[in-house]
Amino acid sequence: MYVCTNGFMCVYSGDCICECVVMRSSPTPDAKMVKEGQVIIRARSLKFGANFIPPRSFLTRRSYFSNEENGLLHVPKGEGQNPQAQMFSDPNMAMDMMKKNLSMIIPQTLTFAFVNFFFSGFVAAKIPFPLTQRFRSMLQNGNIDLSTVDVSYVSSRSWYFLNLFELRGLFSLILGDENG
């Protein structure tokens, strides 16, 4: 293992073309965006600290941020940029979204393959409350015919899809907050 040009552990020596270059990106901050972020942080701290300063001071500071003529947070009509237009103007934003989606496709595919291989054809769980027959196609999806089994029993493939949305916390711990 070598330390590549980006500072990550890499199997290649010298110029790195591995995953650390492709999957990691450090966008250069735009000065305008940083300034707007700092103004929002200051306004938020004013909001939370409003009870600790005199009312006159609070009103003065609030008008400094929200004055309709020259306030820092006031955006005249027509000047706000549409988020979709912003995505097209910054190609790095679209690339970052694709990288995050790719980093979630791989663990989800592996988890589905694990459940499908080891638990295919099994009843995985029983829901502790009665359900109507309309839930049968949703809960008993899989390789076996469960037409004679009660609707409250769940096949392994359907159990995977039910838990898919519950494992976001675990994936965010393993893969990092931005990928979970």
Please name the residues in contact with 170: beta carbons below 8 A apart, sequence gap of 6 or more. none
Report helix, strand or coil for 156: helix
Environment class of residue 43 by beta-carbon count within 10 Å: exposed (0-12), middle (13-18) or buried (19+)? middle
Look at residue 151 in the predicted model and tell me its pLDDT: 79
Number of H helices, E strands in the chain: 8, 4
pLDDT tens-digit profile of 112-154?
A: 888 878 877 777 778 888 878 777 776 776 656 667 778 787 7
Closest CA to 22 of 125, 89, 102: 102
Asked whether the beta carbons of 178 and 100 are under 8 A apart, the reply is: yes
pTM over 0.75: no
Q: ∠ CA 104-108-113 to the nearest 5 degrees?
A: 150
Distances (CA, A) of 55 to 39, 64, 113, 126: 21, 14, 61, 58
Cβ contact 125:153 at 8 Å: yes
Query: What are 16-54's pLDDT values in tens digits?
Result: 554 444 455 566 777 887 888 898 899 999 989 989 999
Q: Which residues are CB-neighbours of 15 under 8 A, at least 6 positions away?
A: 5
Q: Is the pLDDT of residue 79 over 60?
A: yes
Cα–Cα distance, 172 to 178 (Å, whole number): 7
